Amino acid sequence: MDWGMKNRLAQLIQPDGRCFFLPIDHGYFQGPTSCLEKPGETIKPLLPYCDALFVTRGVLRSCVDPIGSKPIILRVSGGTSVIGKDLADERITTSIDEIMRLNAAAVG
């Protein structure tokens, strides 16, 4: 494993081998979700309890303070509809350049 991968994994996984990621991408595939109308207010009190945030680009840019934040797992897929049995019609929606600009530790 290369140095960069080891470094990013070390940001996400605690020395005891455990990790807890806080997913805040529900609105994308579940539609409007209770308690996530103002994601920044929901995220802030939970930050001490998580090792990383799993967020969309919009939530990251508008609701996550870049100073003192947790590592970011960036949702990089999307689709035109959530109608259907699953999300099999998703596509990659984020470029490598943008992922790097947003300093994501991982993508999902």
Residue 14 resides in a domain: no
| pLDDT for res 87 | 62
Burial of 7 (0-12, 13-18, 19+ CB in 10 A): exposed
Enumerate residue ranges in the chain where pLDDT < 70.
26-33, 35, 80-88
| pLDDT for res 38 | 84
The number of folded domains in the chain is: 1
| pLDDT for res 39 | 85
Residue 4 resides in a domain: no
| pLDDT for res 77 | 85
Residue 91 resides in a domain: yes
* Residue ranges making up the domain that contains 93: 19-107
Enter the pTM of the model: 0.83
Residue 29 resides in a domain: yes
| pLDDT for res 34 | 72
Residue 74 resides in a domain: yes
